[in-house]
């Protein structure tokens, strides 16, 4: 399908509207990254362009790879009550996202022994791996589903005003726990757990500053220690996507919708099924914000246990990757589905949090295990991507391929200088840096296109990963 792609500018490619497509497809890739894009991912973008009410070119970002329904690294927008909402265009891990915290100390004040003790202490407080249960059984889950991280901050699991450093201020309005199935509700016991797969907690440091003014506003100074938390809504989000994808498959014909693929099952946004999905999805969004809030709280508790009160961790920002929400673009309100994509509002955009109105809010782009991560901001040109940027590096090897091709020796070399649990090495091969695109190439793609500006590069010091079964 690559023969459908035409170059149309710096790191820009287009698939022009044809057949059942209602809009074009725009893909952002460098020449070096073009070779990685899969035919299946291209087809998924084209399928998205065929859905009812699609009203802006469907977007593929530089970390694009095949997913369920819409590819990971995909953005799709629809208009009006008759425009589609699709569970598969949001994804299984609703509000998988990243929170970045920065400390008031530097890497020169710590050593490898500290890193080992701190990561061990975090692991004692934060259950890591598939199927683990929460250690915060005292919480009112319904209040969490409705109030998200903002509710937890009110209850003392954060500092006053911390919600202004979280997308949606840590609480997406319109959550409806009543729209969740019994099976989905049964999976809310995973609150405050990390999970497996590509989820992680990483200690790092600010290795390079590109934009001094923005970095200063974000509190990111050279050599400052950072903590990055990457996780989402755990089994709850997966169940919501599973439940509503089936509901949408069953209901599509009733609304005269011919589905291009089962994974992109959809219904009109204004339909009863669509409204119930919004209530369930927003509940999962709030659960994920709360999940990262509690893990940040536990990371602070772990720090206090080994360092006392002299060192603190402040939230820089918390961004969602898998979400659908109404936004104003090009003088109209549209429903933007982001799947494996990060919102990046430019300077002075009215939807920026007040604390970042002048700079634009931070967009956090983690690399693979053992590689650098980046903080960027959107420029005015980001409006062409609906103010969306890539959410990470993007896989080039499936988990099975990585386990087959990456040796333990190669894995150790790629993790040189980074503290991790080597006893789990055999279970981490599918997350090896070799399984992902080079993060620097992915980030530079949108920088060269003029859509983002780099603010800082963060290098890893230690990483915590949960085991898969």
Structural domain boundaries in the chain: 2-396+436-465
CB 35 within 8 A of CB 43: no
Q: What is the CA radius of gyration of the chain?
A: 21
Tell me the helix, strand and coil percentages in the chain, rounded to 5.
40, 25, 35
Structure tokens at 124: 């004692």
Sign of CA dihedral 180, 144, 123, 119: positive
Which residues are paired to 395 by β-bridges?
A: 436
Q: Which two tokens stand for residue 304?
A: 């206090």
**What mean pLDDT, rounded, does the chain reach?**
95
User: Parallel, antiparallel, or unpaired for β 25-28 and 58-65?
Assistant: parallel
**Are 376 and 344 contacting, i.e. CB atoms less than 8 angstroms apart?**
yes
- Which position among 230, 321, 349, 391 bears the catalytic label? 391
Cα separation, 333 vs 349, in Å, equals 15
Asked if CATH classification 3.90.1860.10 holds for the domain at 2-396+436-465, the reply, yes or no, is yes
137 CB-near residues (< 8 Å, 6+ apart):
none
Rounded Cα–Cα distance for residues 230 and 128 (Å): 12
- With 50 as the cut, is the pLDDT of residue 469 above it? no
199: pLDDT strictly greater than 80: yes
Percent of the chain topping pLDDT 70:
99
Pick from 142-151, 191-200, 305-314, 369-378: least confident: 191-200
- Distance (Å, rounded) from C-alpha 276 to C-alpha 254? 16
Q: Is the pLDDT of residue 138 over 60?
A: yes
Helix, coil or strand: residue 371: coil
Question: In this predicted structure, what is the pLDDT of residue 425?
Answer: 77
Q: What is the mean pLDDT of residues 440-449?
A: 97
Q: Is 391 a catalytic residue?
A: yes
Q: Report pLDDT digits (tens) over 289-337.
A: 999 999 999 999 999 999 999 999 999 999 999 999 999 999 999 999 9
Cα(65)–Cα(2) distance, integer angstroms: 14
Mean pLDDT value of segment 385-414: 90
């Amino acid at each position: 399908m690559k023969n459908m792609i035409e170059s149309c500018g710096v790191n820009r490619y287009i698939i022009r509207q044809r057949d059942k497509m209602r809009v074009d497809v725009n893909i952002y890739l460098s020449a070096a990254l073009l070779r990685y894009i899969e035919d299946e991912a291209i087809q998924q973008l084209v399928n998205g362009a065929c859905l009812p009410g699609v009203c802006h070119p469907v977007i593929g970002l530089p970390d694009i790879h095949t997913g369920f329904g819409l590819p990971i690294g995909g953005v799709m927008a629809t208009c009006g009550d008759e425009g589609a909402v699709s569970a598969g265009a949001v994804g299984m891990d609703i509000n998988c996202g990243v929170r970045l915290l920065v400390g008031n100390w530097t890497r020169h004040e710590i050593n490898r022994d500290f890193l080992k003790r701190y990561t061990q202490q975090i692991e004692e407080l934060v259950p890591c791996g598939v199927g683990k249960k929460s250690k915060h059984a005292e919480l009112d889950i319904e209040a969490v589903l409705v109030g998200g991280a903002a509710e937890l901050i009110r209850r003392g699991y954060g500092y006053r005003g911390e919600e202004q450093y979280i997308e949606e201020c840590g609480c997406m309005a319109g959550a409806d726990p009543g729209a969740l199935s019994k099976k989905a509700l049964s999976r809310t016991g995973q609150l405050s757990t990390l999970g497996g797969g590509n989820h992680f907690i990483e200690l790092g440091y600010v290795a390079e500053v590109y934009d001094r003014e923005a970095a200063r506003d974000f509190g990111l100074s050279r050599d400052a220690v950072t903590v990055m938390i990457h996780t989402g809504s755990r089994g709850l989000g997966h169940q919501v996507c599973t439940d509503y994808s089936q509901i949408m498959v069953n209901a599509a014909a009733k609304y005269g919708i011919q589905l291009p693929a089962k994974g992109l099952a959809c219904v009109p946004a204004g339909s009863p099924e669509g409204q119930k999905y919004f209530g369930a999805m927003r509940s999962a969004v709030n659960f994920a914000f709360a999940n990262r809030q509690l893990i940040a709280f536990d990371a602070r508790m772990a720090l206090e246990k080994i360092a006392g009160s002299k060192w603190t961790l402040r939230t820089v920002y918390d961004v969602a990757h898998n979400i659908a929400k109404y936004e104003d673009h090009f003088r109209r309100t549209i429903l933007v589905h982001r799947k494996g994509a990060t919102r990046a509002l430019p300077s002075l955009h009215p939807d920026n949090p007040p604390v970042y109105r002048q700079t634009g809010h931070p967009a956090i782009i983690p690399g693979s295990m053992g590689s650098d991560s980046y903080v960027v901001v959107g420029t005015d040109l980001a409006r062409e991507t609906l103010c969306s940027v890539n959410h990470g590096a993007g896989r080039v090897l499936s988990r099975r391929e990585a386990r087959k091709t990456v040796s333990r020796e190669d894995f150790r070399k790629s993790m040189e200088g980074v503290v991790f649990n080597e006893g789990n090495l055999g279970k981490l091969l599918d997350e090896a840096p070799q399984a992902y695109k080079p993060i620097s190439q992915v980030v530079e793609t949108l920088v060269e296109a003029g859509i983002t500006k780099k603010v800082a590069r963060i290098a890893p010091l230690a990483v915590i990963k949960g085991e898969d079964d």
